[in-house]
């Protein structure tokens, strides 16, 4: 159900949040420059009054940091957030207090987010006290209303969190978030710590409360079924960036970005055959946000990475060549373990001349599943000959010269069309014509 009004309540523009960590002993010894963790690296989106925007992506891609930074629970590195037309990072005094009332958060873990020493009555009443709202009687009345509204009994107000189940605790967390009558709530994985049977009940409660109180939600989740069930629109995040935004049905039916497609295909499946296919769809780990790949950040895992023109290679073959090159660039091949045990173990670390052909054959056997056309086979053999001599950079350079992709040279923009997608397969942002009624 779409509940969007025309009014953007929250506008996020080029938001950046870096964490600076340079505390290892080695860093200090060598005086290395600090390398930031680029948790959120220039994200822009709007959240419209009354809607639920989903924020989805693998663990570590920056979802929680986005939510916390836009609520100003973390200070941003750069960028802007406006709430109801006011610049959130400029707020002070009464305006900041008002923002803290109007924008709330519900965290994932109802076990650690409630103070074990406070009764649930005290927990829900606390925000009213902090903001000095109402008389004692009014607060008591409001707490009773809230606890009933989330499906618990006022008889339970004197109990402590450990006396409740996970689902009940999350209801208490929701009641506390509602105490100050907010307009906007960030729901950070609100059901992922709960049993599946309880998840739907909590999601339905959130849905009912949204209608009743005209709430606007940012729902953070790695669970696509939760997103599909609850959201009006969804933003897909990868390694600190948003790669696609769209209406939920459109995005689930017609995902444009290869990452979104891979995420949708990697939803757990029942049969073993299909599980094997899933693993291939989203292979490899998310690269480090300290050193994200150049160009499109998904290109190191993208099954559709774009070959140079006129290369005349199958997509799958090109992907394999790119993966081989990336492993060489990361020095992620153990030369000794390429062949049979100890086969290429040489005193100086490089492979003896007489073993180079066998070494090349063994690397190809191990790392390339598809046969290469002769011209490409020759290029790969030249690169692997450099590798046998431990010339890692020369090996990588040989492959780079032949196989460099636009995906690594240029960073794709999200664009401003109705269903924005940051992928070179869909042209540059300016090539994609802006359509009216944009909801970005």
Ligand X SMILES: Nc1ncnc2c1ncn2[C@@H]1O[C@H](COP(=O)(O)OP(=O)(O)OP(=O)(O)O)[C@@H](O)[C@H]1O
Instruction: Report which of 395, 368, 257 is spatially closest to residue 313, judged by C-alpha positions.
Output: 368
Distance of CA 88 to the CA centre of its chain: 23
Which x/- pattern over 193-232 shows residues binding ligand X (rule: CB under 6 A)?
A: -----------------------------x----------
- Strand 184-188 versus strand 216-221 pairing type: parallel
Which part of the chain contacts ligand X (CB under 6 A), choosing from 52-60, 129-137, 267-275, 360-368? 52-60
**Angle, vertex CA 61, rays to CA 78 and CA 183, nearest 5:** 65
**Residue 32 Cβ, how far from ligand X at the closest point, in Å?**
17
Q: How far from 427 is each of 238, 333, 413, 414, CA to CA, in Å?
A: 19, 35, 9, 10
Provide, rounded to whole angstroms, the least separation between the CB of residue 341 and ligand X. Answer: 36
Distance CA 24, CA 255 (A): 41
Angle CA(202)–CA(205)–CA(209) in degrees, nearest 5?
Answer: 140
Largest Cα separation within the chain, whole Å, is 90
8 A C-beta contact, residue 231 and residue 54: yes
Mark the segment that binds ligand X (CB under 6 A) among 54-62, 83-91, 407-415, 417-425.
54-62
Number of residues written out for the chain: 440
CB of 422 to ligand X, least distance (A): 17
Among 9, 47, 56, 61, binds ligand X (CB under 6 A): 61
In the sheet that holds 233-238, the strands lie side by side as 103-106, 184-188, 216-221, 52-56, 233-238, 241-247
- Tell me which of 8, 62, 173, 258 binds ligand X, using CB under 6 A: 62
Question: Given the complex with ligand X, which of 105 and 175 has the nearer CB atom?
Answer: 105
Residue 237 or 387 with smaller CB distance to ligand X: 237
Q: Is 21 in the site for ligand X (CB under 6 A)?
A: yes
The nearer residue to ligand X, 149 or 222, going by C-beta atoms, is 222
Q: Please state the φ and ψ torsions of residue 23, each to the nearest 5 degrees.
A: -105, 0
Half-sphere exposure of 291 (CA within 13 A, CB side): 3
Tokens read off for 298: 């998904």
**Which residues in the 160-189 window bind ligand X by CB under 6 A?**
none
> In the set 9, 46, 51, 63, which binds ligand X (CB under 6 A)?
63
Which of 9, 10, 15, 37 touches ligand X by CB under 6 A? 37
- Min separation Cβ 188 and ligand X, Å: 8
Angle at 236 between CA 232 and CA 238, to 5 degrees: 165
CB atoms within 10 A of CB 174: 24
Q: Of 44, 52, 65, 199, which lies in the binding site for ligand X, with binding defined by CB under 6 A?
A: 65
Footprint of ligand X on residues 284-343 (CB under 6 A)?
289
**Residue 63 Cβ vs ligand X, minimum distance, rounded to whole Å:** 4
Candidates 60-68, 91-99, 122-130, 432-440: pick the segment binding ligand X (CB under 6 A). Answer: 60-68
Binding part of the chain for ligand X, among 57-65, 173-181, 258-266, 323-331 by CB under 6 A, reads: 57-65
The binder of ligand X chosen from 10, 39, 224, 380 (CB under 6 A): 39
Q: Which stretch binds ligand X (CB under 6 A): 63-71, 178-186, 264-272, 334-342?
A: 63-71
Residue 73 vs 389, nearer CB to ligand X: 73
> Interface residues for ligand X in 253-292 (CB under 6 A)?
289
Helix (H/G/I), strand (E/B), else coil: 369? coil
Nearer to ligand X, 37 or 180 (CB): 37
Comparison of 217 and 403: residue with beta carbon closer to ligand X: 217
Q: Tokens representing 336?
A: 């000794």
Rounded distance between C-alpha atoms, residue 385 and residue 378, angstroms: 10
Q: Which residues bind ligand X (CB under 6 A)?
A: 19, 21, 37, 39, 57, 59-65, 222, 289
């Amino acid at each position: 159900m779409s509940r969007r009004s025309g009014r953007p309540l929250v506008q996020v523009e080029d938001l950046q949040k870096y964490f600076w960590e340079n505390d290892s002993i080695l860093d200090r010894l060598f005086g290395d420059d600090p390398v930031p963790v680029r948790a959120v690296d220039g994200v822009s989106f709007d959240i419209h009054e009354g809607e639920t925007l989903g924020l989805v992506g693998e663990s570590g891609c920056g979802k929680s940091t986005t939510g916390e930074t836009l609520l100003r629970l973390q200070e941003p590195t750069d960028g802007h957030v406006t709430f109801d037309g006011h610049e959130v990072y400029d707020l002070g005094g009464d305006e900041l207090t008002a923002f803290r009332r109007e924008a709330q958060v519900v965290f994932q873990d109802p076990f650690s987010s409630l103070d074990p020493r406070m009764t649930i009555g005290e927990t829900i009443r606390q925000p009213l006290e902090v903001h000095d709202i109402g008389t004692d009687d009014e607060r008591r009345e409001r707490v009773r209303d809230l606890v009933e509204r989330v499906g618990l009994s006022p008889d339970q107000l004197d109990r402590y969190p450990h006396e409740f189940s996970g689902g009940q605790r999350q209801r208490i967390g929701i009641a506390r978030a509602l105490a100050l009558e907010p307009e906007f709530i960030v729901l950070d994985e609100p059901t992922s710590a709960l049993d599946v049977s309880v998840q739907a009940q909590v999601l339905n409660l959130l849905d009912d409360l949204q209608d009743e109180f005209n709430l606007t939600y940012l729902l953070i989740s790695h669970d696509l079924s939760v997103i599909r069930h609850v959201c009006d629109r969804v933003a897909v995040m990868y390694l600190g960036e948003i790669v696609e935004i769209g209406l939920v049905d459109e995005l689930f039916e017609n995902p444009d970005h290869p990452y979104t497609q891979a995420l949708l295909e990697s939803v757990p499946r029942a049969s073993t055959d299909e599980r094997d296919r899933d693993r291939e769809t989203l292979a490899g780990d998310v690269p480090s946000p300290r050193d994200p790949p150049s160009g499109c950040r998904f290109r190191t895992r993208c099954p559709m990475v774009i070959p140079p023109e006129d290369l005349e290679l199958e997509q799958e073959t090109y992907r394999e060549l790119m993966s081989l090159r990336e492993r060489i660039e990361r020095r992620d091949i153990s030369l000794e373990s390429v062949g049979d045990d100890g086969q290429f173990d040489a005193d100086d670390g490089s492979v003896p001349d007489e073993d180079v052909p066998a070494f090349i054959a063994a690397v190809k056997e191990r790392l390339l599943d598809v046969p290469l056309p002769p011209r490409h086979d020759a290029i790969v053999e030249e690169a692997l000959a450099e590798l046998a001599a431990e010339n890692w950079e020369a090996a990588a350079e040989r492959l780079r010269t032949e196989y460099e992709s636009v995906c690594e040279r240029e960073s794709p923009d999200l664009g401003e069309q109705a269903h924005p997608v940051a992928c070179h397969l869909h042209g540059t942002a300016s090539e994609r014509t802006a359509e009216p009624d944009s909801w970005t």
